[in-house]
Structure formats: structure tokens, C-alpha cells
Amino acid sequence: MKKLKELKIDEYFETYLLIKTAELRKTKAGKDYLAFTFQDDTGEIDGKLWDAQPIYIERFKAGVVVHVKGKKELYNGMPQLNQLTLQLANNVNLRPEDFKEKPPVNVSELKEYLNQTIFEIKNPIWNRIVRHLIKKYDDEFFTYPAAKTNHHAFETGLAYHTATMLKIAKSLREIYPELNASLLYSGIILHDLAKVIELTGADSTEYTLRGNLIGHIVLVDEEISKAIFELKIDDDKEDVLILRHVILSHHGLLEYGSPVRPKIMEAEIIHQIDTMDATMQMLSGALRQVSPGETTSRVFALENRNFYKPTFKDSAQE
């Protein structure tokens, strides 16, 4: 049976997939249908089950492995699975975790890299806050995704995204030594920490109530404030205010969720590194789904653009 990555447009197929999300919707005529996101270890794709009966709504839920027959089609320039026939895969020895994207690095190596970087944070206040919060959320930090969809939306994605950003920051420090390394590393390690509060976890990821109503930027600022109180640090110190600022401004623009725009150099750089790493991860994921000479599906988070995969090879690829 083929993997999602191997399916061609207008191809009829039969395979096993994990239901990542399942949402009951209505057509314009008022009929129920199920909108799915299916997943295997090579990628994800949306699909529709029309005229959804109550038994289907009860049976085909997020986190369930199903046997799928259907056709891969293009709809508004986006591939999707249609003409679906689904059956539960209860009689087959398949586990949901077998269908999930695997983290590209070893978790123990991530922990070692993060811990080594914390030793490089020379400012004692920032170091204490970072250590306190990483210890508080150690298990979650190294298992949670960085998002429900879009970038690093896989198990351990949060820690992997953080480590990649740190590597970029360390390279930039060699070019721009005026950047404060301790502030860069502290801000990067903490910037998405509250994803462990905003999201439910790696399995069938959803937003929590606090995540929906408050969001991870404000939630991590709250966690920093709690840490300051517990560690008996003066919350009026400039070091504290600057650390909070780089966290609160890391989305860059007010319309993207930051309550304040970056006002110091390190805050601006953290925002740009965050955007760069998220963009590269989305592009890499989309391009892995197509062959050279083909164009990707539209990437919603990148202005709904699609991208071409060139046929040329450089010396490193040959």
C-alpha cells in the first residue's frame, strides 16, 4: 500500500491512515459531512466524507487508524482525498504512533544541547528564570509540538524548533557580536514555552481553553511573573523587564498577537529567527511531498502560495 507522499493526482488508492482531525460540518444544502485531516509518517492531507451518517460521526474520530479507499484530487489547487470509503482498522496490528511524523533528532541530544546552552547564559537573573521554568515543564517541553498545524506540528516539535533557533542565533552572534548572547538564548528558550499550556499535547493536538482565550504569549509572560515571585527577584529590575519584552514582542506585529513591537535589537532578531525557522520548516515539509519539476500545494501560512521544486542538482546532491 502506498504512502501519502507517493499518491498522484487523480489516482485511486487503498491504504491505512491516521485521522489527525475530524470536524462535523454542513453543506450549503444543510447536509452533514465530515472534514478530515489524514496523516501518515510521510505527510498530511485533507479529505471529505459526504453525507455523514450518525454512526460515521461516532466511529471516525481523531486518533483512530482507518482503512481508506478513495481518490486523490485537486480542489481549488489543493490536493485532497475524495470519494472516500472508511473502515476501522481494529483487526490490524497498527498503532497511531506509527503514522506520526517522527522528530528529526534524538530527544536526549536535544536535552543535552539545551542544557549546555543554559550554561552559556551568563546573566544570573535570566539564568535562574530559565532554569526554573525548564525544570517546571521539563517533560512537556521535550514532547509537545510547537503548533497544532503549520510548523513543527509533531511530537518534540517545540524543543526541536527551540534548538534550531538557538543554532541560528549562535551563528548570527559570530557575525554580529554586539548582540547579547545571554538575552538571545534566554528569549529563544522561553519564547514558546507556554505552548505546553496552550496546546493539549502531541496526540490529536487541540487548543486548551486557556490557549484559546489567552494565548501562549501572555501565558508565558504569566509564567515568568510567577517565577520572579517564587525566586524572590525584584520585578522592577531592567533585566526582568527586558526579558519580558523580548517574549511579548516575538511575533513582531500587533496583528500577529504581540502586545508590543520589538524595541531592542535582540527582540527584533528573535522575531526574525522565529519567522525564518517556521518558514523553512513549512517549506521543507511541503517540498518533501512533491517530486522535482512539480509544484507544492498552497501553503496557507505563507500567504497561501505554492512553491516549485527545481530539477537541478548541486554537487552536494549528486
- Residue 318 pLDDT greater than 70, yes or no: no
- Residue 297 pLDDT greater than 80, yes or no: no
- Residue 311 pLDDT greater than 80, yes or no: yes
What is the rounded distance in angstroms from the CA atom of residue 245 to the CA atom of residue 263? Answer: 8
Q: For the chain, what's the residue count?
A: 318
Contact call for residues 36 and 49 (beta carbons, < 8 A): yes
Phi and psi angles of residue 105, each rounded to the nearest 5 degrees, phi first: -135, 165
What is the rounded distance in angstroms from the CA atom of residue 24 to the CA atom of residue 34? Answer: 5
* Model confidence pLDDT, tens digit, residues 169-220: 999 999 999 999 999 999 999 999 999 999 988 777 888 999 999 999 999 9
Q: Please name the residue ranges forming H helices in the chain.
A: 54-59, 107-119, 124-136, 138-141, 157-175, 181-191, 195-198, 209-213, 216-230, 238-248, 265-287
- Residue 4 pLDDT greater than 80, yes or no: yes
3 state SS of 198: helix
Residues 6+ apart with CB under 8 A from 287: 296, 307, 309
Q: What's the mean per-residue pLDDT of the chain?
A: 89
* Model confidence pLDDT, tens digit, residues 108-124: 999 999 999 999 999 99
- Predicted local confidence at residue 317, as pLDDT: 54
**Domains, the chain, ordered by start:** 4-99 (2.40.50.140), 107-282 (no CATH)
- Residue 316 pLDDT greater than 60, yes or no: no
Q: What percent of the chain has pLDDT over 90?
A: 56
- Residue 23 pLDDT greater than 60, yes or no: yes
- Predicted local confidence at residue 119, as pLDDT: 97
For residue 44, the cross-strand partners are: 39
- Residue 307 pLDDT greater than 60, yes or no: yes
299 DSSP assignment: B
Q: What percent of the chain has pLDDT over 70?
A: 98
- Predicted local confidence at residue 28, as pLDDT: 87
Most confident of 22-26, 38-42, 76-80, 266-270: 266-270
- Residue 151 pLDDT greater than 80, yes or no: no
Reported as a pLDDT band with limits 50, 70 and 90, residue 63 is confident
- Residue 126 pLDDT greater than 60, yes or no: yes
Residues 6+ apart with CB under 8 A from 9: 72, 73, 74, 79
* Model confidence pLDDT, tens digit, residues 256-273: 778 999 999 999 999 999
Phi and psi angles of residue 261, each rounded to the nearest 5 degrees, phi first: -85, 155
- Residue 129 pLDDT greater than 90, yes or no: yes
Higher pLDDT, 313 or 82: 82
DSSP string, 111-161: HHHHHHHHHT---HHHHHHHHHHHHHTHHHHTTS-S-SSSSS-STTHHHHH
